[in-house]
Amino acid sequence: MGRRILVTGATGTVGGALMRYLSNDAVEGQIELLGAARSDKAAMALRDQNHHPVHFDYDDPASLAPALDGVDAVFLSTGYSVDMIVHSKRLLDAAKAAGVRHIVHLGALAADDTTHAHFAWHQVIERTIEAMGFDWTHLRPNFFMDTVWNGFMHRPDRLVHFIGSRKVSWISSDDMAAVAGEALKSSATHINQTHSLAVEALNFPDLASVLTEVTGAPVQYRPRPAADLLPLLLKQGMEPAYAAGLAEGVAALEAEPQPLADAVFDDVARITGRAPVLWRDFAKQRLASLPALG
């Protein structure tokens, strides 16, 4: 049996894609793949996909040590709340005690001197991983294609966002999973590396044009002022401290260009050996998920 790998967030967007990416290696016995499951429902969902769940709950510290027993490498992702700080610390403390060597952390793309909370919290976690002596790989994705697509599925005639016509760079969950998977399987070429994950720069008007072309139906971009975002996030139930930090960062991007906001990198192609997923390909692959087209 090869490396024992624990994937946190295994039923989420990126963690789920990572479980799928690593599944063949697990079936072939090259790795032992464990999916963190907080609930019986999550465990059942993983079993239904022929994955191996282990009970793991950031809010139940006693669950962490058993889940980490014998684990060589961990994919660390956390929910979008201020709790990401304490949740990460709990996992890292338990991982250190369990003898885990390699942490692959899903963070966010920003300059190292960023002042915006959403990014700064991720970077605090990165520095903690380094200081604790783990072998580390930091993943820094920019705007998630999946997040925008999930909203688009419900209203496939429009895109709504809060950054005006600013150009930003994009990454898909499949590409994030592929880079994470390669790092987890063989840390030798990924130890103490930061991978910047952004493969295509588009503003929302351009993205609306791409989706119009792919779907064959008109798609409009309907920008909203960034000042509208915080009340909306709070109404949706987002944790207030995190919501405020996220809204602050979006407002700053709406007001002026931000460092690295539209930067594009070759990390996906270099690490995976294939072309990255661009927005046009991403949309074509998911056409059947649109109610009007499925």
Per DSSP, what are the bridge partners of residue 161? Answer: 223
∠ CA 99-100-103, nearest 5°, is 155
Contact call for residues 180 and 18 (beta carbons, < 8 A): yes
Residue 284 lies in a domain: no
Query: pLDDT tens digit string along 109-144?
Result: 999 999 899 899 999 999 999 999 999 999 999 999
Residue 217 lies in a domain: no
- Smallest CA-to-CA distance from 31 within 85, 86, 70, 64 is with 70
CB atoms within 10 A of CB 50: 10
What residue numbers bound the domain in which 80 lies? 3-144+171-198+261-276
Whether 244 has a pLDDT exceeding 70, the answer reads yes
Query: pLDDT tens digit string along 32-82?
Result: 999 999 999 999 999 999 999 999 999 999 999 999 999 999 999 998 889
Tell me, what's the pLDDT at 81?
87
Residue 124 lies in a domain: yes
Residue 157 lies in a domain: no
Residue 106 lies in a domain: yes
Residue 290 lies in a domain: no
Tell me, what's the pLDDT at 1?
62
Whether 293 has a pLDDT exceeding 70, the answer reads no
Residue 67 lies in a domain: yes
| CATH number of 69's domain | 3.40.50.720
Whether 97 has a pLDDT exceeding 50, the answer reads yes
Structure tokens at 123: 């970077």
Average pLDDT, the chain: 95
Total structural domains in the chain? Answer: 1
CB atoms within 10 A of CB 217: 12
Tell me, what's the pLDDT at 188?
82
Whether 294 has a pLDDT exceeding 70, the answer reads no
Residue 26 lies in a domain: yes
Q: What global pTM score does this model have?
A: 0.96
Tell me, what's the pLDDT at 2?
83
Rounded CA gap, 224 and 191, in Å? 42
